[in-house]
Amino acid sequence: MKMRPGTQTGFLLCGKEWIDGDALEVRSPWDQGLVGRVTIATRADARQAVNHAAASLRRTRALPRWKRREILEDVAAALIEQKERFAQLIVAEAGKPVRLARAEVDRAVLTFKTAAEEAARLGGESLPLDLTEGNEGRWGLVQRFPVGPILAITPFNFPLNLAAHKLAPAMAAGCPVILKPAPQTPFTALALGEVIVKAGWPDEALAVLTLDNADTAWLAEKEDRIKLVSFTGSAKVGWELKAHSGRKRVLLELGGNAALIVHNDWPDLEGAALRTAHAAFGYAGQSCISVQRVFVERNVFQTYLWKVVEIAAKLGMGDPADEATEVGPLIRLSDAERVEAWIREAVDGGAKLVAGGERKGSVITPAILTATTPGMKIRDEEVFGPVVAIEPYDDFEEALAEVNHSKYGLQAGLLTRDAGRILTAYRELEVGALIVGDTPTWRLDPMPYGGVKDSGLGREGIRYAMDEMTEPRMLVMTGIGQS
């Protein structure tokens, strides 16, 4: 099977075929230049993809662990070899600054390498069952089996690595996958699909479909042969999918408005401010764990605030293809206009705009606010833009309460050297992970990743996703080997 000439030509991977059809134009978030045209999948394409996936389950389930590991290792090797190709695709369609795009490829390599290791470790346990009289000679074996075909839905902001976080554990577990990428960033997912098939994964066990939202919802709701829906995206869409997915398993990695606490015993305020600026404004804040709220002990508040302002002013802005750029465009003009409106709403409500917040097209200068209050969108909702609110606190318990005053609970950061405060925060904060000594934006791909409250359901991270994508099956043996 060969891809049609031209990296950015409209096509659709479905089972063993590259399919043509009506095309969707994909344009650069930076200059609106045409990136390419991609086939729009139909409901008939989706049904055919499910046919392929269901028929391929026996084959993927039977793949020996060494073969799964080999395929995953080959995918990682191909990503290393094609690093610049994938980085440039991410820049073109996602508007991600090129240095961050290269870092995303590196993360995807780690994701597939880790999945290769976990494929070899996927096992089970034996159980003694002769625990009561009359059960002599009984013993049990528990193994994990693939749950079945998976529908994976990914967003625009990490078009390679978030697809990898669905595909790599599914492959390690032996599950066929239908991947539905964001319409803004289909080419990275299609290129990854090509790499996976070339590495030896069964053709019919992978489909990459650029479905519209209505047909995606139909697939999740009506197609019972789909056994798990794994979704990364907005809370509103994620919970609606779960409500309509029937008896399917649902794994949700949703949004957040990540908070950082900076206590007065942290010795390096300059370093803390530097980390905050990069974590709040890198890639224009388009990450679900971008720093959005910072609570700073009052004694160091002014020093910290103005250091963040100073550093943010020096961040490179503009063309994501420029090596110096860190703050590029938002994915759509409408998103930039929304963020601008939220900033204006906060200022009209009494917040102080300390720096930034100016919009030129889809680019917004890093916005730093203070005197924000609960009820403001800039504080309560997920901004998904280059905006941070920095507020003082007097009591550590007050800071913990402020972090918890959110409908989200993905990750939080804590800068303190006090072990008692660390353990208190670990116990009290309603989040999926507490990052001590750094911002909540830090993540390593093998770790369990996910949140509570409106931030999601279940955990990603390769081994933890594999737990979601497999189910234990019990074998009870009676009298075997007894004379």
Of 400, 111, 427, 469, whose CA–CA distance to 261 is shortest?
Answer: 400
User: Are 62 and 207 in a shared domain?
Assistant: yes
The structural domain count of the chain equals: 2
DSSP character string of 1-42: --PPSSTTS---EETTEE---SEEEEE-TTT--EEEEEEPPP
User: Are 136 and 282 in a shared domain?
Assistant: no
DSSP three-state, residue 182? coil
The answer to whether residue 392 is domain-embedded is: yes
The answer to whether residue 432 is domain-embedded is: yes
DSSP three-state, residue 163? helix
User: Are 307 and 224 in a shared domain?
Assistant: no
Q: What is the pLDDT of residues 205-246, one digit of tens each?
A: 999 999 999 999 999 999 999 999 999 999 999 999 999 999
Query: What per-residue confidence (pLDDT) applies to 479?
Result: 84
Answer yes or no: are the C-beta atoms of 227 and 148 closer than 8 Å. yes
Residues 466-473, mean pLDDT to the nearest whole number: 97
User: What percent helix, strand, coil does the chain show, rounded to 5?
Assistant: 40, 20, 35
- CATH code of the domain in which 419 resides: 3.40.309.10
Is the pLDDT assigned to residue 413 strictly greater than 60?
yes
User: Are 40 and 175 in a shared domain?
Assistant: yes
Answer yes or no: are the C-beta atoms of 31 and 328 closer than 8 Å. no
Query: What per-residue confidence (pLDDT) applies to 480?
Result: 75
Answer yes or no: are the C-beta atoms of 288 and 255 closer than 8 Å. yes
User: Are 250 and 291 in a shared domain?
Assistant: no
User: Are 241 and 375 in a shared domain?
Assistant: no
- What is residue 437's DSSP assignment? T
The answer to whether residue 374 is domain-embedded is: yes
Query: What per-residue confidence (pLDDT) applies to 19?
Result: 58
Give the number of other Cβ atoms within 10 Å of residue 228's Cβ: 25
Q: What is the pLDDT of residues 352-396, one digit of tens each?
A: 999 999 999 999 999 999 999 999 999 999 999 999 999 999 999
Query: What per-residue confidence (pLDDT) applies to 2?
Result: 31
Of 389, 387, 401, 404, whose CA–CA distance to 351 is shortest?
Answer: 389
CA separation for the pair 378, 344 (Å, rounded):
10
Query: What per-residue confidence (pLDDT) applies to 10?
Result: 40
User: Are 306 and 354 in a shared domain?
Assistant: yes
Is the pLDDT assigned to residue 3 strictly greater than 50?
no
Is the pLDDT assigned to residue 103 strictly greater than 80?
yes
- Catalytic residue numbers read 253, 288
User: Are 104 and 216 in a shared domain?
Assistant: yes
The answer to whether residue 166 is domain-embedded is: yes
User: Are 229 and 343 in a shared domain?
Assistant: no
Answer yes or no: are the C-beta atoms of 28 and 95 closer than 8 Å. yes
User: Are 223 and 335 in a shared domain?
Assistant: no
Angle, CA 109 vertex, CA 449 and CA 31 arms, to 5°: 90
User: Are 419 and 465 in a shared domain?
Assistant: no
What is the domain range of residue 465? 13-254+456-474
User: Are 439 and 467 in a shared domain?
Assistant: no
Query: What per-residue confidence (pLDDT) applies to 403?
Result: 98
The answer to whether residue 8 is domain-embedded is: no
- CATH code of the domain in which 225 resides: 3.40.605.10
